[in-house]
Structure formats: structure tokens, C-alpha cells
Structure 1
Amino acid sequence: MPSLWLADRVESASPPALDDGEVAADVIVVGAGITGMTTAVLLARAGKRVVVVEARHVGAGTTGNTTGKVSLLQGTKLSRIAARHGQDVVKGYVTGNLEGRDWLLRHCEDHGLDAQREDAFSYAQSASGVADARAELNACREAGLPADWAEEADVPFPFAGGVRLRDQAQIDPLPFLQSLVVEFETHGGRLIEGVRVRSVSGNGPVRLEVSPDDADSPDQNRVSMTAQQCVLATGIPILDRGAFFARLQPSRSYCLAFDVPGDVTRSMFLSVDSPTRSVRYAPRADGDKLVVGGGGHTVGRADSPAKSVDQLRRWAELHYPGAVETHYWSAQDYSPIDELPYVGPLTPGNETLFVATGFDKWGMTNGVASGLALSSRILGGRMDWAQAFSSWRTRELAGLGTAVKANLEVGFHLAKGWVSPITNHPSPAEGTGVVSGPPWNLHADCVVDGVHHRTSPVCPHLGGIVSWNDADQAWECPLHGSRFSPDGSLLEGPATHGLSHSG
């Protein structure tokens, strides 16, 4: 299920050259998505010795599976921030996103990369969503953005009015990432793909223990790396220090690309009411494609994601008659408890380990802004707007109620996972997976492409019991969003190794 962006560009990671002794650097960046590569480029430009470590390949995570919208209009994001923190914080958040957007677009222009400048809409699908859209309009205007109200739009789907912000942008994220890699290596940086970080210890120097992502055991072929500082740009931190796993809610969302007869919708649209519908076009060599997104859910807690994807598919085919599906993919994002990203020290006062997370589906601008903020901090500078992105803040109390509710739900799903599967199920059908057995002998069984897989269902992070995602055909932990392939191999953390094999 490669995304539209990755479908023709996926390359196997070259065997990691780690047999030449311990790897040492000034800064090690973990994760080769937009945040990690932007941070690495900025540090390498300044003369730092930088190594980027990526478990799979460049863009394999959220960046390669994004919708690629580069917009300051982000659904109802600004009005939600304003409700919790006030307009001064909204202005800081907008300034950071503005700098991130402009840096990205300058890079595209300087390197001959295509970026389409289009209007963005946060719109209501029905009358019930109009109040939320108007609240977003007010938040935009108070933050100084030149947004206006559109009573109607030239679209084939229901539109009850919405906010419009002109001259935003959309990109194919892969050429952008690839150009960052080229610049990074030109400045002496080293990119190591196919290697997963298993542990991080120390406090300047930092020691990372890594091993090949496809190792049969996480302890197999381990190699040490050392650096004075380390940036975790992994979607959700792979370290439990700072308890970011308890301050974020992981969500999975889905995208479909279509060939459509006639003209496609040119502007970018995102609904403010449910079910979420996201629309953009993507220019390709064989013509423009329609990209439709939605169907989001908390990771591991949906009964049948495939049904939501089918509803998204039918929505597109209803409103764009003759649409022919060409691509399907999904992405994982992390929503912070108080609406603001976490960018800065992993623990208070620590200037050795840094984190960037909580972009809430807006990584194209927030990821670059994070790179700007982190590189500036590491190099001894500061950006005033970065306070709105702080990884530790007293105003996080504004999200305390949300955090309590979220972690009560985590506790519920932890108990439910251990108690519910008390009987054995029949062998699963093709494309399905089940967890069965008594609590002392649980096992997870699935059948994919005619192959039966059996693993332990216990997530190695904090002991949650995984559930089956029938859209992605993967195991998902309902606690903090770790995901695993049918055979139990780790896809993404906070877990740092896969499910154990079950007899």
C-alpha cells in the first residue's frame, strides 16, 4: 500500500555500513522525515557533524504518507488553540508555521521543485458545522491572517460555507525530502537507513544502541553510536522519559487517489465537521489525480477501519462520477493534549536529548518550524515564537482534563485487551486477524495472502493487547499506537522491537 508519493520511489535501504567501529557525531538525528531532515540540514550547514539514523528509508513514516498540504489554515486548529490558550499563543503558533511554510517554499524554489499555490478552505459540510468554521475565521483574523468567508464554492460535494485563506501551497513531499538528503550529504552529513535505535542512554555524550531493522532479535548485530546531542524526530518519542506517550493521542487516517474524468477540484478543502473529508489534487505525468482523505480513528480502537475507508471511497465515487481508484494508503499522526506541538528538551532542563512531536496532521509546516527551532537552540540561538512549541510548559494544565480522560481510556483498553479474548476463535479468514486464548496463553492469529501468522499479542512497550486493523492488515496497540506487521515485525513505535513469536 505505498502512497501516491512513494509508489514509484521506494528504494530498499542499503545494508548499513556499521562494521567500521563506533559511529560518533556532534548530533545524531533519529528519523528521516521532514522534521529530522530539516533539522539535520540546518545543523550541517552550520558545520556540525551530523548523522541521521532511519529505521526504514527516507520518508517511510508520516512524511511519505501525508496529504502534502502546506497551509496556515488547518481545519479548526487555530480556534481550538485560542479556546485553551488565548490569541497571543495562537500568534506564536502561526508565526512558527509561517516561517516553516516560507522556508519550505523557498527551498522548493531554490531547488527547482514543484509547489502548487492554491487557496485553502476549512468548510462545513452542513449547517451544523458552520459555527465551528466561523470560529476558525475569527481566530485567523485575530492572528493576522487574511482569511475571508465563502458562502459557496465550485465543488461537487456538500458545502455549507467555510473559511478561505488564499495562496497556500501543496507539494509532493518526496522530491522535497530527497533534495534535503542531497544538501545534507553535500555538507558532510551521514544518512544511515535500515537501522533502528533500540536504546538511548547517557547525558552528553549520548550513547545509542542500534541494530538492523530486519534483525531477528533486537540484540542481534548491535552497534553503538555516540553524540553530544540527540534529536528524536520519530513521530512519537521512542523513549518513555518525559512520558510523551501519555501526552499524545495517536490517530490513523486514510487517503485514496483517483483518476477522474474532466477537471479535478483545484483548491484544498478540509471539513470541520464529521466525517472528515480532505480534498486536494496532485499533478502527475499522466494527468492530475484527485486525493481524498478521511476515515480517521484512534489507533487500535476501531472495530473495522475498512468500513470507514469504504465509506470514503463511496463518497469520492458519488461526488466525482467515473472516478477510478489508483492508490490507497494511510498515515499516523499524534494529537497533543493541549493542542500545541512539543518541541524542545525531552525532560525539563535537558539540553542533550530533544524531541519534536504532536503536529496533529500538520507536519509540513510544523515539522519545518520544529527544525528551525531545534537547530537554533542547539546552535545557541533562540526564536521567540518557539515558546508556543515548548515541550514543557505550565499552560499545559489547560489540557489536564483531556489528559486524564485519555489515560483513563488507555487503562480501560489495557484491561479490556487482557480480559476480552477468553475463548479460542476459529482460524481467521483471509485478511482478518483475531486475538484468542486465556490471559496466560494469549496469541494473535492472522491470515494475509494465504499465509497464517501467529505471534504474541502483547505490545512490548507497556503490555497492551494489540487489535487487528482490517484496512491496513496490521496489528495495532490501542494504548499508545505502536503498530506491527502481520508477522509481528515492528512498523512504528513507541515500541522499539516487534511482537514475540507465539507457539
Structure 2
Amino acid sequence: MTNKSYWKDTAAIRERHCLPGDMNIDTVIIGGGMAGILTAYFLKQKGKECIVLEAGRIGSGQTRNTTAKVTSQHDLIYADLIRTKGEKQARQYAQANEKAIEEYKAVIRKMNIECDWEDCSSYLYTQEQGQRLHNEFMAAVRLGIAARWTEKTELPFPIQGALRFDGQGKFHPLKFLKAVSEDVVIFEHTKVRKATPDGVQTDRGNVKASNIVFACHYPFPIIPGHYFMRMHQERSYVIALENAPLTEGVYLGIDPGSLSVRSAGGLLLVGGEGHRTGENPNGGQYEQLIKRAGEYWPGGKEAYRWSAQDCMPLDDIPYIGRYSGGRKNWYVATGFKKWGMTSSMVAAMVLSEQICGRISPYEEVFSPLRMPGLKGMGNMALEGAHAVANLAGTSKLSEDAKENIRTTRCSHMGCQLSWNPEEGTYDCPCHGSRFDARGNLLVGPAQKGICKGGDRR
């Protein structure tokens, strides 16, 4: 079966023109996914002139590959946040994401958007870590979240318990994005090559801007910010099943290898089998998902399959705010850790306030300028060691690849690429860049391909 997202197959967004040439603007936003479009929408509402530059098509990156859960329940997060960041910042995180859910509803009502929005409950479940999940329940209650403990779910297998958050949501992300994008100025097929203190240089012209927002999934400048030292990327997989019982709630297991479950458009979406990008030498993720789904939903038939890639921050908190201390007019939204829909709205809320010279009540916990803490420092050391190991690695091109590929080194920082047999790509285990079988760039932070004769895209 060809990999194809259900969202992409059931929504069409009209194509925009590329940048017509040099331009001056107050704010330029790099990236036409959910975070970039929402930030532009909020800025327009606040009276700021801005444009969005998208290298491909609107929503063609991670937004079309999400499971589209809109929830403040982000795996096991709150007990750890209280322990490592303190109750004040943990409450900021909770309130920001709860507010994000309400903002989605407000935009949908205001614009009368038909995007299959459903209010629902979100569940974390466990089959073997009941005490750990109960600790998360207590932390959520302490922070003012209307959380409940239950042992009853719609899942077809026994559990020790589940943590339930009511008042959450699920929707069709591209139908929503289609409507919101009509209200902002977007230039597609315009690749940003370089960012400067006062603007960006693209393959279609230069844009001079007072503010620059990096909403392009993974910020590509190596310096400043050093985001390559502060994140890694992971891939995860989804299959959509016909003829399977649907769920009203959305589910995520906390045990190793657990599944993500939600329904959409008469299909049951089952996700899992994730791994660090570049560490998938044997493949087989989809087959394993199909096998497991067959055990729990034996009547289900695969209708779609797709994969996503997520930036994983050192301390489990997204980087949303000023890009670095040395670039006061640069802003960033990245490191969403598999919670891109809610985090995109949080980013739009925080960044639009900061660009307008206001203080967001949520900015402290998400600040990219924060100290990483003991946990973050430990993870940074591990990331550094991982990069060094892959910089030293060697690999030979296959005979088939030699015709098109000039190197198996990533064009970002030279790490040794790994062949991904599941998706037929060359993936970077250091920072997550991906290239197709002919060496063309698919996903950054790399800015160019590894094919002979230059990138053909």
C-alpha cells in the first residue's frame, strides 16, 4: 500500500503563488504549517502586517501527518514538570494548553469552519505502570486540571487504569488550516536559504522584516541558538482501519510499545512503533502495527498508512519565544514532542503577544532562553555523544544509489546517514534530516540534498 495521509486525501487547499520578488514587511514567518499559519492569523487580528513563506505547499509537512488530537494531556508530563520546573511553571504549561483548546473552538466558531471538530475526552492508559500513572493524576489535579481516574475505557484489552481529561478535542487539521489560511498572505514554493538580522534570503527574492519567525518544524540556522544540540527527531507510524469499532475518546498508552488510538471519518487510527530518526535498519513498522491491530480489532481493514516526524526537546517542553539572546527580533516555535496541534496554538498565542511588545502569561515555561536543568544537561550530553558517534561512522553507497547519490553524509553537519527500508529514504540519526532515494531533501534542518548535480526539488 502507498503511504498516504487520510487528512491529505480528504482535503484540498488552494495553491498560492511564489514570492514575486523583493519585499519589505513587519513580520516574515518561515513555514506554512499549523504553527506558522496560526501565528500569522493572530498577528493579523492584532493589526500586524506579515507574510508566510512556505518551501512547498501549505500543510505539506508535519501538519498533514498528525493524529490531530487537541489536548493538554501530553503523555506523562505534569508530575515531572512539578519536580523539575516547579509548580508555577507546571501550571503555566497546563493553563497554556487548556487555553489553546478554547482558542481552537473560538476560531472555529468565529469563522464558522467545518473541520469535523468534536469535543472529547483524552485518556492516558497503562497495563503495567498503575502507580506512575496515578502520580500523574495527582499532579494534574494539583495544577487545577479537571482530571479523573478510571478503569473503564473503550479499548479492547484490559488495563490497570487510565487518566481521563475531559473537554479536549479532535478535528481534521487540513480542513481547519484551509479555512484559516484564507485570512493570511502566503507565498508557496518559496524556499528560505538564509536568515539575516533584518530579513531572509529566498530562492525567489529577499524579504526585509522587523521580525522573523521560524515555524518551519526544525530551525535551520546552526548558530545562534544551537538547536541542533537541544533536540533530536523521532518518527512514528499510523494506520487507518475500516470496519473497526470507533472510539469517542482519544487514547495513548504510557507503557513501552503502547498504541495511540482515535477515530476520524469512520476510520480507526492506530499509531505507534516509533523510533529515533535514522535508527530503523530493519523496517517493518507498518507490518507490526497491522499485526497488533489485527489482534485487537480483527475485522479491521487497512485503508491508509502514513508516518510523522517530531522534534524532541531536552526537557520535554517546546521552545516557543525569542530565538536567542543575540537575535532580539528572531522568534521560534519548535520541539513540540508529538503534540503539534495544541503546541501550534500555544506558539501562536505566545509569539503574537511578544511580537506586539506584550508579555504572555505563558512565556516563561516555554522560553528558548531557559536553562536546561539537570535533566536537560544530561540529555544534552547524550545528544553530543550520539552526534560524535555518527560523525565518525562510515557507510558505502549501494550500486543502485551510486548513479544519483554523491555522499551518504548529511548536508547539514556531516553525520552518517542511515537507509530507512520502511520508507525508502536516507535518514540522519543526529538531527533528523531526511532525503529520498535519489538524494533530494525531504525534511530539514538540512538545506540542500545529497544528489549529484544539486537538489532537484
Contact 2:404 2:452 in 1 (8 A): no
- Residue 349 of structure 1, CA deviation: 5.3
Q: Secondary structure at the match of 2:336?
A: coil
Could you say which residue in structure 2 is the equivalent of 1:246? 229
Partners of 1:454 and 1:395 in 2: CA distance: 38
Contact 1:68 1:170 in 2 (8 A): yes
Instruction: Note if 1:85 corresponds to 2:80.
Output: no
- Residue 64 of structure 1, CA deviation: 1.4
Contact 1:344 1:356 in 2 (8 A): yes
- Residue 415 of structure 1, CA deviation: 1.2
Could you say which residue in structure 2 is the equivalent of 1:486? 437
Q: Where in structure 2 are the equivalents of 1:110-259 lying within 5 Å?
A: 110=110, 111-113=112-114, 114-124=116-126, 126-127=127-128, 129-184=129-184, 190-201=185-196, 203=197, 205-206=198-199, 208-211=200-203, 222-240=204-222, 241-259=224-242
Q: Where in structure 2 are the equivalents of 1:53-132 lying within 5 Å?
A: 53-110=53-110, 111-113=112-114, 114-124=116-126, 126-127=127-128, 129-132=129-132
- Residue range with higher mean Cα deviation, 105-114 or 225-234: 105-114
Could you say which residue in structure 2 is the equivalent of 1:318? 295
Could you say which residue in structure 1 is the equivalent of 2:284? 307
Structure 2: gaps (5+ residues): none
Q: Secondary structure at the match of 2:392?
A: helix
Partners of 2:157 and 2:226 in 1: CA distance: 42
Contact 1:276 1:296 in 2 (8 A): no
Contact 1:96 1:386 in 2 (8 A): no
* RMSD across aligned positions (CA): 2.0
Amino acid of the residue matched to residue 315 of structure 1?
R
Partners of 1:291 and 1:157 in 2: CA distance: 16
Q: Secondary structure at the match of 2:235?
A: strand
- Residue 487 of structure 1, CA deviation: 1.4
Partners of 1:344 and 1:264 in 2: CA distance: 38
Q: How many residues align?
A: 449
Amino acid of the residue matched to residue 123 of structure 1?
Y
Amino acid of the residue matched to residue 291 of structure 1?
L
Amino acid of the residue matched to residue 260 of structure 2?
S
Amino acid of the residue matched to residue 174 of structure 2?
L
- Residue 17 of structure 1, CA deviation: 4.7
Amino acid of the residue matched to residue 79 of structure 2?
S
Amino acid of the residue matched to residue 465 of structure 1?
Q
Contact 1:231 1:354 in 2 (8 A): yes
- Residue 11 of structure 1, CA deviation: 6.0
Give CA-to-partner distance per residue, 1:381-436, whole Å, 9 cap, x none: 111221111011135454101110122112112212x2xx36x75x46xxxxxxxx
- TM-score (normalizing by structure 1): 0.85
Partners of 2:365 and 2:359 in 1: CA distance: 13
Contact 1:152 1:160 in 2 (8 A): no
Q: Sequence identity of aligned pairs in percent?
A: 30
- Residue range with higher mean Cα deviation, 3-12 or 90-99: 3-12
- Residue 5 of structure 1, CA deviation: 0.3
Instruction: Note if 1:357 corresponds to 2:299.
Output: no
- Residue 362 of structure 1, CA deviation: 0.8
Give CA-to-partner distance per residue, 1:347-393, whole Å, 9 cap, x none: 11532111111111111111111111111011011112211110111
Instruction: Note if 1:26 corresponds to 2:26.
Output: yes
Amino acid of the residue matched to residue 365 of structure 2?
A
Change (3 A) 1:310 1:12: farther
Give CA-to-partner distance per residue, 1:228-286, whole Å, 9 cap, x none: 1110001110111210111012111111111025x312211100011031000002xxx
Contact 1:24 1:225 in 2 (8 A): yes
Amino acid of the residue matched to residue 112 of structure 1?
I
Partners of 2:194 and 2:16 in 1: CA distance: 22
Q: Where in structure 2 are the equivalents of 1:271-282 lying within 5 Å?
A: 271-282=253-264
